[in-house]
Structure 1
């Protein structure tokens, strides 16, 4: 069974990477962490990801968190992790072509135009039988 730590680490691997490229590999993360002064091996990262190792040092947790640009709390605080997971899901959805196009076109619109766009999206959601606001929305 995969530990919470492994599950959360894998979620970061799957979703936190530059747009237009595949997720980071264990080798890339090990090289980046070693390059920043934290000694870690590719096999150890693999063991953390598959749940064979479940108790990394605070320094390893901090180095992984820094690499993926989250707080170390992500690995241990369920409430913080839920917020980050929600944001990661939004990020993942925004990588989709349609939402990326929409976001790019809405980026520098006035506040009034953004409100109109939001109202239109809510109307479209209702017309498709969806709630006006997604249930996991943080609004």
Structure 2
């Protein structure tokens, strides 16, 4: 199925209702609500109407999951991800583990992992997707929880951890597509290896100070980073002075 140009939740949902995959005729709001109910969900046709018109734009993860199941698409389709559905696709079940992994794997060089307070403060200060509290982030992180975050919180968390596409839009699909999450986690594992080897911190130092370095020193820095990346070594001693 072709993706719509407007990637707003309303536009994607409306397009899926008008041209549902594997179905000859469109879904009315009443029919879609009934399909959700038949699969064990609970969404009213009135709420579906508001979502399609953009009058409501912040559905919960459970709502996204239920709509995706009824429309036979991957939940990530609503945020610019893949459309093809693979099996049950239950992102609520894996959300805490994915979020914990981001906290463990993604943080600035020479700084420890973000705390929920750090993330909440940064997201709330940015304001693009509203605010979030540290206590709510802790609830989302709890391994025994079945959290039900809203779409804007998923977008905000993805953006905070640098999961953005070429267009700068946060890749909330990480939380909605286990296949995509596995691919991103593999990249994060590579980043962690480079960080543990000192490469990330060194590269950041290069960016910060390169303007004051001689051409020869800059060349050595580039060579050192390239060799570290290509070698796959878990430990690396850079052949440069501190500054």
What is the TM-score normalised by the length of structure 1? 0.69
Mind listing any 5+ residue stretches in structure 1 that lack a counterpart? 110-116, 123-139
Partner of 1:8: 98
Larger Rg: 2
Q: Is the 8 A contact 2:124 2:131 kept in 1?
A: yes
Distance in 1 of aligned mates of 2:198 and 2:160: 29
Listed as ranges, the gaps of 5+ residues in structure 2 are 1-91, 164-170, 203-220, 233-243
Deviations 1:71-105 (A, max 9, x none): 1011111111011000011111111237668x964
Match of 1:78 in 2: 178
Q: State how far apart, in whole Å, the 2-side matches of 1:15 and 1:90 are.
A: 10
The 5 A counterparts of 1:58-137 are 58-70=151-163, 71-97=171-197, 105-107=223-225
Question: Kindly tell me: are residues 10 and 104 of structure 1, through their superposed partners in 2, closer, same or farther at Cα, counting changes over 3 Å?
Answer: farther
Q: What is the deviation of 1:44?
A: 0.3
Matched, 1:46 2:146: no
Deviation at 1:106? 4.3
Q: What is the aligned-residue RMSD (CA, Å)?
A: 3.0
Provide the residue aligned with 1:132 in structure 2.
none
The partner residue of 2:111 within 13, 21, 24 is 21
Deviation at residue 107 of structure 1 after TM alignment = 3.5
CA distance in 2, matches of 1:104, 1:91: 17
Q: TM-score, structure 2 length as denominator?
A: 0.41
Higher helix share: 1
